[in-house]
Chain A
Amino acid sequence: MKAGQAPPCAPAEAGAQLGPGAGLLLSQEHKWLAVLAALFGLLAAAPALADSSLPPAALADTQLADPRQERQARALMDEIRCLVCQGQSIADSNAEMAGDMRALIRRRIEAGESPESIRAWLIARYGHWVSYDPPLEPVTWPLWGLPALLILAGLWLARGRFKRRRR
């Protein structure tokens, strides 16, 4: 990966700001600034994982012709976690792998597969971790049950206080 190229998780523009020619546009006395900026650019562009030099997959950034299918694909992309930029969904991530996963989802939706079956296919490979919609199972029940329990506990506490006050 060349210095100045965007790291896979950053928006594409971030790395493009400091091209190799950036210093040439500045006057002589500002050259040290350009050097500093270039150094900063190097730091900012610390590569986590390089991407290939091939163009993005055909359907990575191209919407499907059928708006209903595109809506389905888009909804699923928002709920699938990027494997490279792990805090992002593949819809938000600029990583090449996220693009390949968007292409995979669009291609399968276009072929008539249901979003839930594609989600299941991905979960079978990467675990529930890959989906932002965790299912209700023994490990995850606190996630769903705790808020309800806390509200019940709060109601019970409040009830106790009101009773005492009335007396």
Chain B
Amino acid sequence: MRTRLVLWVPLALFAILAALLLRPLLSPPQRDIPSALIGQAVPEFALVPGAEGRPGLASADLRRGRPHLVNIFASWCLPCRVEAPQLAELARRGVPVVGIAVRDRPEDLARFLAAYGNPFQAIGDDRDRQVQLALGSAGVPETFVVDGRGTIRHQHIGAVMAEDVPAILAAYEAAR
């Protein structure tokens, strides 16, 4: 009797393995992809201004001794509207916030900033998304904490909600 049961073991193992392999094939899990550049220098870039009244953004601006929040956003991105009050709050607390506007037009950007506030000290126009890709960012919005020597210290994926502010402030303080 026991040998009979043992005969079923390979089939059971196969079924378990098949189930394990089939599940992610049929419904691939959607997950956040963290940038592999955390702890490394910001890649070299120089972006022209994305909005009137603010300078553009270059990697050299992030190496001037002060840490920055680098916010990757777009006027067409809905979660970016949701995080606007939190970015304003961080800017109000003295955190220098700079923006990288992905695939945007200056006029759309101006409308967005007028409607949801402009916490940015500088806004780079990343029209072909090349700087976003160079940073290892996989979507909008994302927020990087970059220390005063231009090293990426922290990445926040998705909108910055009120409950995320303490963690971002802590990362900013740690980067000082």
A residues touching B (Cβ–Cβ < 8 Å)? Answer: 1, 48-54, 57, 83-84, 86-87, 96-97, 100-101, 103-104, 123-127, 129-130
Contacts and interface: CB of A to CB of B under 8 A. Distances in A.
Contacts of B94: none
Nearest first, the 4 A-B pairs at minimum CB distance are A87-B28, A125-B136, A52-B103, A83-B138
Given A87-B28, A101-B133, A126 B139 contact: no
Looking at chain B's contact residues, is the secondary structure mostly helix, strand, loop, or mixed?
loop
B127 interface: yes
Given A49-B139, A50-B76, A97 B36 contact: no
Given A84-B139, A125-B37, A125-B134, A52 B31 contact: no
Contact of A52 (B37, B74, B78, B136): B74
B104 interface: yes
A52 B103 CA distance: 6
Given A54-B127, A101-B133, A125-B133, A83 B76 contact: no
Interface residues of B, number: 29
Contacts of A84: 138-139
B104 A100 contact: no
Nearest to A57: B128
Contacts of A87: 25, 28
B65 to A, nearest CB: 26
Contacts of A53: 76, 105, 108
Interface in B36-83: 36-37, 74, 76-78
Contacts of A1: 78
Given A50-B76, A83-B138, A83-B139, A97 B129 contact: yes
